[in-house]
Amino acid sequence: MRNPVFKLFVAFLVVPALSSIALAQGRGSRTVPPGFVAEGVPKMPNPPGPAPKRDLSGAWVGPQSYKLGPAAPMTPAGEAQFKERHAYLPNGLRLDNGELPPSNDPFITCDPLGFPRNLLAHAISMRGGMLFGSAPNRILIAYEQQRVWREIWTDGRALPKQVDVKGAPDSRYYGFSVGHWEDDYTFVIDTTGLDERPWIDEVGHPQSSSAKIQERYTRVDQYNMKLTVTVDDPKFYTKPWTAMTADLYWMKNQEFSESFCIPSEGIEYRDSLTKPSGIKVVK
Amino acid sequence: MRQAFITAALVTLAALVVSSVAVAQTPQSQSQPKQAVSPWKYYPKDVAVGDGGPAPKRDLSGTWAGPGSTPSIPAGTPAERPTLTPLAEQIMGQRKSVGRFGPAGTNDPTATYCDPLGFPRDYVYQNRAMSVATMPNRVVFLFQFGDFWREVWTDGRALPTDFGDNRDSLDPTFMGYSVGRWEDDYNFVIDTTGLDERTWVMNDGTPHSVNAHVQERWTRIDHNTMKVSMTIDDPKMYTKPFSLGTYFFRWVPNQKIGEWLCVPSETLKYLTEQGKPAGAFPDEPTERRGGGRRRGQQ
């Protein structure tokens, strides 16, 4: 059972490189054993009870059965950013000679994934976890992956209009977020002020610090929740687009494992295995 | 402000070397405005005044400023100097701290790669701001540095003991396995074990085994103040338990703290372009002082 973190990182590198199917089809394509809704996700008693009102608290498995993109056409500024980014698997394309292009994915060195890319689980199981909780005036979301957290303010404050200018806050990998209940079962989170270095997705689409990302969590019943993530970023895209739709399922034991991408392991892997194997990596 | 992250990485390293100077120049301090105007910014010098009234019962939740964030944080007590077993001495002989060897010569995994500090070093060395929240069956600590969180189970479960290679053994973790209980209305006691042996207990490289047992005693003194006293017991590494220090926290008025991430690619760039060319410090005789923050090192 040792070294799960290293496995996680290896998985990150190997899965996108070898399996576009895994990303394109999520977890739905795998064989699901009896008693499970998906591999590694125990089934809760049926039928589920009704969804509690205005309450997402607890630990959830996901995203599952997700669909990513497609991204909207980019503006020239967006295209300029995008062409500088070299994913391990840029939409399944390879160079003319059949090789993968050299990747400069920042997660190679375990740089922070940032939001919203961190919503997609990078573990080999393609299974992540989210813990919803609360503190005064805010909803907290703690993620299994990288063990990072976000806070969603619910006190009615407006999002910052600008970042990275005098008097305004600095942009952040996980942005600034406010949330509200649209009705008793749908919680909507709006986020902006994102750092522009992280990739918005696996293929390297860009995000500007003025991008507005919206998450809609709809609690369908006691054990099921649906998530839709949309991106509105006129600086880089010609129109808003849906970055992800996915399902979340109630985590039976409500406990997370610890899933870190450890930089020293990632860098050792890059230098001792990836480079000698011939997969090009850009520093 | 992209430079903030590079600065953060530099500070991570430099704070170990010239602590008081580095801390005085942290991004937060530099960004201190004349007056607080944004609900989205963390103003470390905007501190709570007075005691804020009596301490609420059985409640640590809220957002807190910790050691090193501002001079108004009460001085705590530094960690004691442990007496090491021969095994621990052997491990210490292989560890090169930033303080002794500099950025070019250190093998501190955090300074070299941004590896997570892990527990308890994330309290002993670097916990300038954090939030605490109560969630179902657990208390959660959410740190500014690294954006990491840690959970403490309060459902009465026992601490795990099997971190071996059996099928059902638990994996060691950077944050460990923690259970907590309210000893009375104002004292919350946390026991932690199962810590990944790669992590350092203190900046000098003090090692621990996976079976190390860390105990934290959190005391809510009043509404605006709380403190934690920490001890560690690890017969494999130390001849007797010792104190990891006492640290104070003060209520943050707008309940907002910053995002402070150690970005590995930036640390690598810094080391390549500046740290390594500067050369390692000359190796000096070991003078072990313990790793806690001292008075005047805020």
Task: List the domain boundaries for chain B.
Answer: 54-160+170-278
Q: Which residue of A1, A174, A257 to mutate against B (max B Cβ within 10 Å)?
A: A1
Please say if the pLDDT value at position A280 is more than 70: no
Angle, helix B98-105 to helix B3-17, in steps of 10 degrees: 140
How far apart, in whole angstroms, are the C-alpha atoms of residue A175 and residue A116? 9
How far apart, in whole angstroms, are the C-alpha atoms of residue B180 and residue B183? 9
Which position has the higher pLDDT, B38 or A142?
A: A142
Q: What are phi and psi of B276, to 5 degrees?
A: -65, -45
Location of structure tokens 């090009």: A280
Please say if the pLDDT value at position A123 is more than 50: yes
- The CA-atom distances, in angstroms, between B32 and each of A166, B8, B42, B119, B287 are 11, 16, 9, 29, 36
- Least trusted range by pLDDT, from A119-133, A265-279, B37-51, B122-136: A265-279
Q: Which residue of B has its CA nearest to A160?
A: B40
Query: What are the structure tokens assigned to A189, written together?
Result: 């989170």
Average model confidence (pLDDT) for chain A? 84
Answer whether A225's CB lies under 8 Å from A202's CB.
Answer: no
Query: What are the structure tokens assigned to A227, written together?
Result: 């998530």
Which pLDDT band holds residue A94 (cuts at 50, 70, 90)? low
Q: Do B61 and A2 touch (CB under 8 A)?
A: no
Residue type, B292: G
Q: Which residue of A260, A261, A268, A282 to mutate against B (max B Cβ within 10 Å)?
A: A260
From chain B, pick out residues whose CB is under 8 angstroms from the CB of A170. 1, 4, 27, 31, 258-259
> What is the distance in angstroms between the Cα of A263 and the nearest Cα belonging to chain B?
6
Q: Do A164 and B259 touch (CB under 8 A)?
A: no
- Predicted confidence pLDDT, tens digits, chain B (298 residues): 444 433 344 444 444 333 333 333 333 444 444 555 789 998 888 889 999 999 999 999 999 999 999 888 999 999 999 999 999 999 999 999 999 998 889 999 999 999 999 999 999 998 999 999 988 899 999 999 999 999 999 999 999 999 988 888 999 999 999 999 999 999 999 999 999 999 999 999 999 999 999 999 999 999 999 999 999 999 999 999 999 999 999 999 999 999 999 999 998 888 888 887 877 776 554 444 444 443 333 3
CA A64 to chain centre: 12
Q: Which residue of A has its CA nearest to B172?
A: A2
- Least trusted range by pLDDT, from A16-25, A228-237, B100-109: A16-25
From chain B, pick out residues whose CB is under 8 angstroms from the CB of A4. 171
Give the pLDDT score at A124.
65
From chain A, pick out residues whose CB is under 8 angstroms from the CB of B151. 142, 256
Identify which of B1, B170, B259 has the shortest CB distance to residue A174: B259
How far apart, in whole angstroms, are the C-alpha atoms of residue A276 and residue A273? 5
Location of structure tokens 């709570």: B48
Which position has the higher pLDDT, A89 or B291?
A: A89
From chain A, pick out residues whose CB is under 8 angstroms from the CB of B119. none
A-B C-beta contacts closer than 8 Å: 123
Average pLDDT over residues A211-229: 97
Share in percent of chain A as helix, strand, coil (round to 5) = 20, 30, 55
Please say if the pLDDT value at position A47 is more than 70: yes
Torsion of CA B55, B57, B63, B69, to 10 degrees: 40
User: B33 CB near a chain A CB, below 8 Å?
Assistant: yes
Number of H helices, E strands in chain A: 5, 11
* Interfacial B residues in 212-271 facing A (CB < 8 Å): 255, 258-259, 261, 263-265, 267-268
